[in-house]
């Protein structure tokens, strides 16, 4: 009874936008949000038959899997190194964490400059090393632009993931390694059979939180390529933005956001379930 007011508030805060989105998705809506009539499933059919949407949906999955996968693969060794006590560890930790303090869109702008074909730092370095003879137009083709965006997605996700993993590592008592060493375990064995299993719950949380975050990551792709060229770097959120604000179609945009909502909701459900299981 005592929580009723806050429960009501929470329901209103969550429920009203949801109601609006559902209403928009079923209506014929003008650019400025005026509802012109009931559209039935028209918006849904229009979105489902749009090849750009289907492409973006697949690309969103590729984007999420590669960014999160790459982040975890890189974060584990980084966290392991940062756990060791070495000279300058504080500095190294700070450097690893630094990208976290920069707004995502700012980071994306800086990287866009770095990858500029004519005066970008990346091309200049590669040419100095003799790897490239001609400047490479990174952002001109989706085949190069998208991997670059994935790489940046990984870089900006590392700090958060390393933080979680470091927390996990510090919860593993040092004595068991000593015991393992006395029993003759090699370093890789103690990593594979002790560190990894004991890190698993933290890994799971890192993966799920990253999935939710990366899935909705808008700034990197929007700043660097706006989903182009030829719509071939769109993920769902950038496509949603373009639909709503560039093409002025709030109806179909509402449908896309329902799809996004459904996917994020299932990811969240998995997260809740994992937490429950780990108690």
> Which positions lie near other proteins, rule CB under 8 A?
30-34, 117-118, 134-135, 137-142, 226, 228-231, 245-248
In the complex with other proteins, the residue whose CB is nearer, 31 or 181, is 31
Instruction: Compute the C-alpha angle 160/69/279, nearest 5°.
Output: 65
In the complex with other proteins, the residue whose CB is nearer, 30 or 170, is 30
Dihedral angle over CA of 170, 172, 175, 181, nearest 10 = -110
**C-alpha distance from residue 209 to each of 168, 169, 247, 269 (Å):** 15, 18, 32, 11
- Output the DSSP codes for 61-73: HHHHHHHHHHHHH
Tokens (6 digits) for 32: 């400025």
In the complex with other proteins, the residue whose CB is nearer, 190 or 226, is 226
Question: Do residues 237 and 217 make contact, with C-beta atoms less than 8 angstroms apart?
Answer: yes
**In the complex, least distance from residue 247 CB atom to other proteins, rounded to whole angstroms:** 6
**In the complex, least distance from residue 248 CB atom to other proteins, rounded to whole angstroms:** 7
User: In sequence order, what are the beta bridge partners of 171?
Assistant: none
**In the complex, least distance from residue 249 CB atom to other proteins, rounded to whole angstroms:** 9
In the complex with other proteins, the residue whose CB is nearer, 137 or 268, is 137
**In the complex, least distance from residue 225 CB atom to other proteins, rounded to whole angstroms:** 8
């Amino acid at each position: 009874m005592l929580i009723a007011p806050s429960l009501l508030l929470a329901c209103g805060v969550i429920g009203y936008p949801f109601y609006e989105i559902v209403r928009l998705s079923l209506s014929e809506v003008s650019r400025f949000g005026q509802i012109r009539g009931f559209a039935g499933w028209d918006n849904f059919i229009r979105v489902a038959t749009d090849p750009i949407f289907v492409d973006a949906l697949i690309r969103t999955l590729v984007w999420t899997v590669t960014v999160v996968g790459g982040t975890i693969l890189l974060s584990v060794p980084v966290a392991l190194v940062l756990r060791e006590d070495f000279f300058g560890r504080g500095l190294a930790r700070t450097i690893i964490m630094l990208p976290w303090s920069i707004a995502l869109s700012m980071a994306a702008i800086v990287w866009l400059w770095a990858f500029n074909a004519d005066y970008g730092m990346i091309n200049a370095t590669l040419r100095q090393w003799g790897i490239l003879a001609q400047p490479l137009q990174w952002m001109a083709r989706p085949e190069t632009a998208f991997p670059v965006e994935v790489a940046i997605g990984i870089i900006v996700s590392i700090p958060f993931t390393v933080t979680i993993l470091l927390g996990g590592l510090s919860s593993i008592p040092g004595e068991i390694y000593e015991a393992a060493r006395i029993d003759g375990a090699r370093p890789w064995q103690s990593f594979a059979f002790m560190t990894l299993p004991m890190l698993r719950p933290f890994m799971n949380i890192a993966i799920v939180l990253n999935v939710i975050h990366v899935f909705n990551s808008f700034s990197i792709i929007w700043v660097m390529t706006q989903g182009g060229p030829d719509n071939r770097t769109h993920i769902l959120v950038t496509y949603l933005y373009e639909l709503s604000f560039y093409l002025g179609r709030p109806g179909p945009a509402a449908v896309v956001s329902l799809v996004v909502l459904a996917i994020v909701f299932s990811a969240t459900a998995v997260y809740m379930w994992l937490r429950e299981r780990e108690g």
